[in-house]
Amino acid sequence: MPFVIFCLVLLLQPTGTEQTVGDWSAENQNVQARFLVRYHSSSLDGKTDGPYSQFLVYLELRNTAPTLSTLVRKFDLDAATDITYRVTDERGREIASPVAFRSTFLPGAYSLVLPPDSLLRFPVSVNGGGVFEDKTKLDVSPKQGIWYFDETVRRDFRLSGTLRISQPPERYQTYWWRGEIQIPPVALKIPGR
């Protein structure tokens, strides 16, 4: 019976989507962060496993306060301006992103509440427009350009970042989180490359 369940789980997995999860950051005021990256491919008719691919990036935040605590953490977080993104190759060299025109909407700001002993995942990438057949796109910030990865070149890349939120003086209360977290690198994997 467990083998049948395992086979059903494999069959129900969406094709054209692979994901990698980064390590948790060091803790800062009971908060940790990490990236989750999904490789997603599609065709113009909306089916998966098509020639157009991009990396979908998610940020996960975790409140490490124990279950019986009352330590709620609140954020006003704009993933386009409060996170600085960095792509490096297998040697640790930073890969610059060329400035690019965007025809898509940005995710915008989030007002987030993290209860004690909780985890929250939300998208931080800009998805859609400007995806080419022979390249995989990564678009996370209007302050930076868009990275395109040639699917035929065998190189390893990683995405890391810095989450930095400064607290506005008029909202200074202990439950509003402010500070800086270095988000550890996560692999950007193109299946079959």
Closest of 25, 31, 27, 26 to residue 177, by C-alpha: 31
Provide the pLDDT confidence category of residue 8 given band limits of 50, 70 and 90: very low
Q: What percent of the chain has pLDDT over 70?
A: 77
Report CA torsion sign: 9, 13, 20, 75.
Answer: negative
Structure token digits, residue 21: 């999860």
Give the residue-averaged pLDDT of 185-192.
87
Check residue 24 and report its DSSP letter: P
User: Whose structure tokens read 């400035």?
Assistant: 99
What torsion do the CA atoms of 88, 107, 162, 96 make, to the nearest 10 degrees? 30
Long-range contacts of 42-47 (CB under 8 A, 24+ apart): 42/16
Longest dimension (CA), the chain: 59
Q: Compare 7 and 24 and report the one with higher pLDDT.
A: 24
pLDDT reported for residue 45: 66
Distance CA 58, CA 146 (A): 16
**Which of the residue ranges 62-71, 74-83, 140-149 would you say has the lowest mean pLDDT?**
140-149
